[in-house]
Amino acid sequence: MPASVQALLHYPSLKIILVGDNDLIVNQLKQLGQPDHPRLSIVHADTNIGNDERPSQALRNSKGSSMRVALELVADNKADACVSAGNTGALMALSKYLLKLLPGVDRPALVSALPNMYGDAVWLLDLGANVSVDADTLFQFAVMGAVIAEEQMERQPKVALLNIGEEEIKGNDLVKRCSEMLQQSQSVNYVGYVEGDQLFTGNADVIVCDGFVGNVSLKTSEGVARLFLGKLKDALFSHPIKKLIAKWLFGEQLMALKHLNPDQYNGASLLGLRGIVVKSHGGADVAAFKHAIAEAVHEIERQLPKKISDRLEAVLLERHI
C-alpha cells in the first residue's frame, strides 16, 4: 500500500487499482493519509488465495479472490498490468488460464534481473514456472529473455544456455538440441554455454535454463549471499569498537556488498502471456514492492508482450525461409 502511494508520486500519469478487501484497504489508506487519491481506486475482492494452496486447487477455488479479480482486470483491458506478492504457483496457473499465451509460446517463463559483478543486470530464466521443458520451449525462453533484456539495455544482449561444461561435448540432450537451434537463429545473439560459476561474471546478459535448474541456481545464490553477509557481519561487528571502526572506514563499500544479494532485486516477470504480470517477493518491503511496480510500468511503456510476440513471429519466419 505505501509502495503504491510512493509509485503514484513517482509516475505522474500512473493509475493504480488496489484489489482486495475494501474496508481493509480504505482503513490502510486513511492511516497513510491518502483516503482519496484521484489516481487510486479500489476493487473489492472477497477472498485470498493462501500461500500453501496448490496451483490446481487455487485455480478451482479462485473465483472472487483478489489475485483472480486483478488478473481479470488485465484480461478485460481494464488494467495494463498485474503486480502480485501472492502464491507464485497460483499466479502462474491463473495468469495462463485468464490471460492466455502469446502465439508461438508453449509455456510462460518466470524471469528476473539479478546484479552481476560489474553492477550490470543479468536476466535468468526460467526461475520455476516450468520444471520440465523441451528444446523448443527452452529456445522460446531464450528469445523472450533476449527481448526483455534488450528493452532494458538498449543493445543486443548476449544470450547463453546454462550448462555443466563450457565445451560442446557436455550437457544433456535437451540443452544440446537447444544450442543447435540457437546457433542457427539470426534473432538471438547466442554466445554458447555458461556454467554455474559464470552467472555473475558478465559473460552473458541472458542465461537460459529449465525452471528446476533456474530456481535451484537462484536460491543457491541467495543462500550463499546470505551466508557470506551474515558471517561478514559477525566478523566485523564482533566488538562494539571494531563495529564502529568497520562502519567508519568501510561502511560505504560494505553497503555495496549488500547489493550483490540477488534477493535485493524484486519483481520477477511472467513472460509469454497476452498481458503483463509481475511477481513480487512475499516478504517485500516498500522499496522492493515499488521496484516491482516500476518493472510493470516499464513493461507497459515498452509494450513487452507485443515485442515478444513480434520477435517470435520473426523467428518462425526465419525458420521457414
Q: Site residues (CB under 8 A) for a copy of itself?
A: 52, 54, 89, 117, 128, 131-132, 162, 164, 167, 169-173, 195-201, 209, 211-213, 215-228, 230-232, 234-236, 238, 242, 245-246, 249-250, 253-254, 256-257, 260
Q: How far is the CB of 260 from a copy of itself (least distance, A)?
A: 6
| Distance of alpha carbon 20 from the chain centroid | 23
Cα dihedral 108/187/189/280 (nearest 10): -20
CA 209/CA 163 separation, integer angstroms? 8
Q: How far is the CB of 147 from a copy of itself (least distance, A)?
A: 24
**Cβ contacts of residue 299 below 8 Å, gap of 6+?**
81, 148, 151, 269, 276, 278
Q: How far is the CB of 125 from a copy of itself (least distance, A)?
A: 14
| Beta pairing class for 16-20 and 276-279 | unpaired
**Cβ contacts of residue 267 below 8 Å, gap of 6+?**
83, 112, 278, 279, 280, 288, 291, 292, 294, 295, 296
Choose between 26 and 117: whose C-beta lies nearer to a copy of itself. 117
CA 195/CA 207 separation, integer angstroms? 10
Choose between 20 and 171: whose C-beta lies nearer to a copy of itself. 171
Q: How far is the CB of 60 from a copy of itself (least distance, A)?
A: 14
Choose between 141 and 200: whose C-beta lies nearer to a copy of itself. 200
Choose between 128 and 275: whose C-beta lies nearer to a copy of itself. 128
Q: How far is the CB of 168 from a copy of itself (least distance, A)?
A: 9
Q: Are the C-beta atoms of residues 29 and 1 closer than 8 Å to each other?
A: yes
What nine digits make up the cell of 296?
510493470
Q: How far is the CB of 2 from a copy of itself (least distance, A)?
A: 27
Choose between 164 and 287: whose C-beta lies nearer to a copy of itself. 164
Measured over all CA atoms, what is the biggest interatomic distance in the chain, rounded to whole angstroms? 70
Choose between 256 and 287: whose C-beta lies nearer to a copy of itself. 256
CA 77/CA 82 separation, integer angstroms? 11
Q: How far is the CB of 40 from a copy of itself (least distance, A)?
A: 34
What nine digits make up the cell of 232?
561478514
Choose between 154 and 197: whose C-beta lies nearer to a copy of itself. 197
CA 206/CA 116 separation, integer angstroms? 11
Choose between 22 and 57: whose C-beta lies nearer to a copy of itself. 57
Q: How far is the CB of 173 from a copy of itself (least distance, A)?
A: 8
